[in-house]
Every structure is written in structure tokens, then in C-alpha cells.
Structure 1
């Protein structure tokens, strides 16, 4: 990967959550193959779903891949931060924000002039050096 970040942006007037997941999957395969695709797509899906369900206006998904990090940002028109609530096993939801917090390496919510930004960051896993091969056993003499 070059030192320049790779970026994809998906805007709400043109896309839905399925299109956002598709764009994210394609982006990860091209620019961030080390990332856990299922975890990132679940976070993208939850962030888009929350923006569609809980904000009155626009949303914008922004993914950036750099050498050591993947950043997923969801900007939306609501100034209200996500709220963790008790999961409702009878179908009332409450699972999404908990999943986002568990799946991403770091999550931050920041106000914007006209809404907020939810940022989820994953760091590239460190690759440890392979363990040295064991020394051959000496044969009896």
C-alpha cells in the first residue's frame, strides 16, 4: 500500500445501507485486506441503520485506509450521540451500539457544526515473526 490514504465516501441521497455495505466490502478488498471484513461490515451496517432510523436528514459514510489503520466515519444530521440501551430479546433492538463498541478497536463520537461524527478505528494486527524451527535432535553415537 502506498503512503497515500485510500478513501471512499457514500452519501445518503444516493445510497441505502445495502449499497453502503457493498461499497465498504469492495473498498476493504482493494485497500485493506487485513481487516476483519465481517466485523467492519457489521459496524457499517449498524452505523447506517442508526443514521437512517434516528436522524431526520442526511448521512455520510467515509472509509479511509492507511498503512496501519482503517477508519470508518459516519456523519449525520443529528447532534444526539448514540445511546447504549438494554437489548430487547423480544425484537425491540438495543444490540447495535453494543456491537459497534465491541467490534471496533476504538470508537469516538464528536459533534459537528450540523450533527455528529461517529468514528470507528481498527489497527492492522501486528505480524509476529515465525517461531524458529526446533533444533534437530542429536542422534545417539
Structure 2
């Protein structure tokens, strides 16, 4: 049996920006309860970017998973697209291209795992040694 705290949020792709706001709100609450050691700004930026990418680049659903272990935080976004995120050259004229680079820098590790129904993008943070209880 898995004793780790775990939250799953499923949203319809038809509500636009409210999806991202709901994911950020749920993540902030989860961090307060289960990962007070995590940098909330970094985690919330990663969640926002991953949800925004799923909304923009997926024709179907997406699902957010938040899992806290004793010394880890895992944020996973599953969606219906099999295509992995692609790093683009950032544009200073409003063309984007910053998000995937930001995700990779803010998270400890980032993995993209193919799934039978699409993919899972997973960002993991490890509790800093100074924050251990």
C-alpha cells in the first residue's frame, strides 16, 4: 500500500486559464501540507508551464499528479499527446520558447515518459540536506 500523500486533479480542456489557476492553487495547498521545504515559486512556475503546455499542445485531457515522499516531491502531468516537449529558441519579441528551458532549470530532474494513452512529463525535487528534519 502506498502511504505517500497523493493528489490527482483532472480538468476539462474547455476552461482555458482557469485550469492553470486551479492546478496552481491545489499545488500551493499540497506544498503547505506535505512539502514545506520545497521552493513554492519554482514548483508553481513548473506546474503553470506544464499545464499551459498541455492545454496548448494537446487536443484532449490532461491530469496533474502531486506526490510527496519523505525527501522528494514529484509533479507529473499526463496528457493525451504522445509528442514530447520540444526546446525552442527563446524569442524576445513575444514568440515564446522560454517555458521548457525554465522547467528544466527549476526542477531537480525532468523526465518525459511515453504512456499508452499519451505521455507523462515528470519533474522531481529532492529535499535539501539542510531542510531535513
**TM-score, normalised relative to structure 2:** 0.91
Q: Distance in 2 between matches of 1:54 and 1:118?
A: 13
Q: Which residue of 2 aligns with 1:4?
A: 3
Moved over 6 A (4+): none
Is residue 2:113 matched to residue 1:113? no
Measured after TM superposition, the shift of residue 10 of structure 1 is 1.1
Is residue 2:24 matched to residue 1:21? yes
Measured after TM superposition, the shift of residue 9 of structure 1 is 1.0
Measured against aligned partners, the alpha-carbon deviations of 1:104-131 in whole angstroms (never above 9, x if no partner) come to 0000001000100000000000028xxx
Q: Which residue of 2 aligns with 1:59?
A: 62
Q: Distance in 2 between matches of 1:97 and 1:47?
A: 8
The structure 2 residue matched to 1:79, chosen from 77, 82, 86, is: 82
Measured after TM superposition, the shift of residue 4 of structure 1 is 2.4
Q: Which runs of 5+ in 2 are unaligned?
A: none
Q: Which residue of 2 aligns with 1:131?
A: none
Measured against aligned partners, the alpha-carbon deviations of 1:11-63 in whole angstroms (never above 9, x if no partner) come to 12286000000000000001100000000000000000000000010000000
Q: Which runs of 5+ in 1 are unaligned?
A: 129-141
Q: Which has the higher helix share?
A: 2
The structure 1 residue matched to 2:39, chosen from 36, 40, 47, is: 36
Q: Distance in 2 between matches of 1:53 and 1:127?
A: 38
DSSP-derived class of the 1:74 partner:
strand
Q: Distance in 1 between matches of 2:11 and 2:50?
A: 12
The count of corresponding residues between Structure 1 and Structure 2 is 126
